[in-house]
């Protein structure tokens, strides 16, 4: 689980990114889940879009794909969303440290 501060940092990183995958009229299909898992393993942070013809909304797609890929939903705006999954073997994104509770 990522903190609010880490989520804000990831939103900033994703701001300049373009969507690399789309959820189309078929919705969440097994092939798309595999592609999302592979993309998250390679990039850690991905932006996706949902076409108007899709049977699911961007929020529904983000939640379902994050659950399937064991990732975190960073942001959902309009028809786009951002997912993050830390690569344990070779992390490329260094998140700010979580604040310690007193």
- For residue range 6-42, list pLDDT tens digits in order: 999 999 999 999 999 999 999 999 999 999 999 999 9
Residue 101, pLDDT > 70, answer no
The per-residue pLDDT for 59 is 97
- Long-range contacts made by residues 25-34, C-beta under 8 angstroms, separation at least 24? 25/51, 25/53, 25/54, 25/55, 27/54, 27/55, 27/56, 27/61, 28/56, 28/61, 28/64, 28/65, 28/68, 32/65, 33/65, 33/68, 33/69
Task: Give me the pLDDT at residue 76, please.
Answer: 97
Report the predicted TM-score, pTM, of the whole model to 2 decimal places.
0.89
Is the predicted pLDDT of residue 65 greater than 90, yes or no? Answer: yes
Give the residue with greater pLDDT, 95 vs 79. Answer: 79
């Amino acid at each position: 689980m990522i903190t609010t501060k880490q989520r804000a940092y990831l939103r900033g990183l994703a701001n300049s990114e373009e969507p690399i995958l789309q959820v189309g009229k078929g919705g969440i299909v097994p092939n798309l889940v595999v592609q999302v898992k592979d993309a998250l393993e390679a990039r850690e942070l991905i932006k996706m879009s949902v076409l108007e013809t899709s049977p699911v909304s961007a929020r529904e797609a983000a939640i379902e794909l994050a659950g399937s890929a064991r990732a975190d939903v960073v942001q959902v705006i309009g028809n786009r969303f951002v997912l993050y999954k830390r690569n344990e073997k070779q992390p490329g994104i260094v998140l700010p440290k979580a604040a310690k509770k007193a």
